[in-house]
């Protein structure tokens, strides 16, 4: 059972990296509830300046949860991340693709592509740029007849 929201928000501000990582993992399923505090906490955890384990756990939880808000936060963080955090966000993205490929889930890969491509026209310039960059990592769409890059 998940902890109450006030406790999760407190953990998200903790000095202890493990508390912050736990908060990111447990806040991710709440991302669609429309709570600005949850979105702000998740953004801060994705860009955690003190420990990449917090970034890793939060990004993985958000992408596993999926959904429009989760992807928007991930792409927003991607657009603001420095090189080290960006490497960890890229790893979380690759892990999502790897899981689908390992399961032979081509429909899941196409769904993932569609989720990313849905943001290439987003009103936020950073999100647009991040989505375009990630969409380019997929190569040609299935059924286009184009060879892989």
Please compute the mean of the pLDDT values over residues 58-85 and round it to a whole number: 96
- Which pLDDT value is given to residue 144? 46
Q: Is 2's pLDDT higher than 80?
A: no
CATH assignment at residue 37: 1.25.10
Terminal alpha carbon distance of the chain: 45
Domain that residue 101 falls in = 5-135
Asked whether residue 119 is domain-assigned, the answer is yes
pLDDT in tens, 21-56: 999 999 999 999 989 999 999 999 999 999 999 999
Q: Which of 85, 82, 90, 75 is nearest to 128 (CA)?
A: 75
Domain count, the chain: 1
Asked whether residue 149 is domain-assigned, the answer is no
Q: Is 1's pLDDT higher than 80?
A: no
Q: What is the pTM of this model?
A: 0.90
């Amino acid at each position: 059972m998940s902890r109450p929201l006030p406790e999760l928000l407190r953990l998200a501000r903790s000095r202890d990296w493990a508390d912050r990582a736990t908060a990111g993992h447990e806040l991710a399923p709440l991302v669609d509830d429309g709570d600005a505090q949850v979105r702000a906490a998740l953004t801060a955890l994705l860009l955690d300046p003190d420990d990449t384990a917090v970034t890793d756990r939060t990004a993985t939880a958000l992408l596993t949860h999926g959904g429009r808000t989760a992807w928007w936060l991930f792409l927003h963080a991607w657009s603001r991340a420095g090189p080290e955090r960006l490497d960890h966000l890229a790893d979380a993205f690759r892990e999502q693709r790897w899981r689908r490929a390992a399961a032979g889930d081509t429909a899941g890969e196409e769904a993932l592509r569609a989720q990313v491509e849905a943001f290439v026209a987003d009103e936020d310039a950073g999100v647009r740029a991040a989505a375009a960059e990630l969409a380019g990592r997929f190569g040609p769409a299935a059924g286009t007849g184009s060879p892989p890059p």
